[in-house]
C-alpha cells in the first residue's frame, strides 16, 4: 500500500511527464492545427479541383503519361511530365473517370497534400536543429507557407512539394 505522500509524488511525476510531453509535442500540435485550418476547404467529394496550371487527372491522362511522346496532347507533343509518371500514373488511376466521386476526392486530396507537405518536410528537417519551440513553429511556417510557396501553390505547380 502506498501512502498518501508516495501517491502524490507519483501523480505529480506523471503530470510532469505528461506536461513535458505536451510541451515537446507542442510545435507539432500547433502545426497540425495550422495545417487543418489551411486545407479545411479543399478536400471534396464532388467538383473539379482546378488550380492554375494544374488540371485534375483521371484514367485517360494516366494512360498518356507513361509515353515519352504524347499523341493526344497538343496534336502530339513531347511529354514533359514523364519525370512525374510515378506520381500521375497512380493518381490518375486512383481518380478514375472524369466527374466521378473518386475523381474529385483523389484530386482534391492530392492538392491538400501539396499544400501541407512542405510543413511536414520543413518540420522534419528543422526539429533536430532548432531547440526553441516557438522558433521551430515560426521557421517551419516561414519555410512552408511563405508568399513564394503560396504563389507556386496557386499556380498549380505541384512540384512545390519540396522535401
Q: Applying CB under 8 A, which of residues 26, 73, 113, 127 lies at the interface with another protein? A: 73
* Cell triple for 40: 479545411
- Per CB under 8 A, 57 contacts another protein: yes
State which of positions 84-143 bind another protein (CB under 8 A): 84-87, 98-99, 104, 107-108, 111-112, 115, 126, 129-132, 134-135, 138-139, 141-143
Quote the least distance from Cβ 17 to another protein, whole Å.
23
Of the ranges 2-10, 11-19, 21-29, 31-39, which one interacts with another protein (CB under 8 A)?
Answer: 31-39
Scanning the structure block, which residue is given the C-alpha cell 493526344? 72
Helix/strand/coil (H/E/C) assignment for every residue in 13-31: HHHHHHHHHHHHHHHHHHH
Quote the least distance from Cβ 30 to another protein, whole Å.
12
What are the φ and ψ backbone dihedral angles of 28, each rounded to 5 degrees? Answer: -60, -45
**Exposed / middle / buried, residue 106 (Cβ in 10 Å: 0-12, 13-18, 19+):** buried
Quote the least distance from Cβ 65 to another protein, whole Å.
10
Nearer to another protein, 94 or 108 (CB): 108
Of the ranges 7-15, 16-24, 25-33, 75-83, which one interacts with another protein (CB under 8 A)?
Answer: 75-83
Residue 78 DSSP SS3: strand
* Cell triple for 161: 512539394
Under 8 Å between Cβ of 89 and 131: no
Amino acid at each position: 500500500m502506498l501512502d498518501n505522500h508516495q501517491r502524490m509524488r507519483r501523480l505529480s511525476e506523471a503530470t510532469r511527464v505528461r506536461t513535458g510531453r505536451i510541451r515537446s509535442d507542442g510545435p507539432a500540435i500547433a502545426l497540425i492545427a495550422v495545417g487543418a485550418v489551411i486545407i479545411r476547404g479543399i478536400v471534396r467529394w464532388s467538383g473539379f479541383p482546378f488550380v492554375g496550371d494544374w488540371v485534375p487527372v483521371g484514367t485517360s491522362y494516366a494512360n498518356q503519361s507513361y509515353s515519352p511522346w504524347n499523341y493526344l496532347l497538343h496534336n502530339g507533343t513531347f511529354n514533359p511530365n514523364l519525370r512525374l509518371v510515378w506520381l500521375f500514373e497512380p493518381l490518375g488511376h486512383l481518380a478514375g473517370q472524369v466527374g466521378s466521386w473518386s475523381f474529385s476526392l483523389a484530386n482534391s486530396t492530392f492538392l491538400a497534400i501539396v499544400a501541407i507537405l512542405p510543413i511536414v518536410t520543413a518540420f522534419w528537417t528543422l526539429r533536430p536543429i532548432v531547440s526553441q519551440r516557438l522558433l521551430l513553429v515560426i521557421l517551419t511556417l516561414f519555410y512552408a507557407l511563405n508568399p513564394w510557396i503560396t504563389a507556386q501553390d496557386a499556380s498549380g505547380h505541384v512540384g512545390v512539394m519540396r522535401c
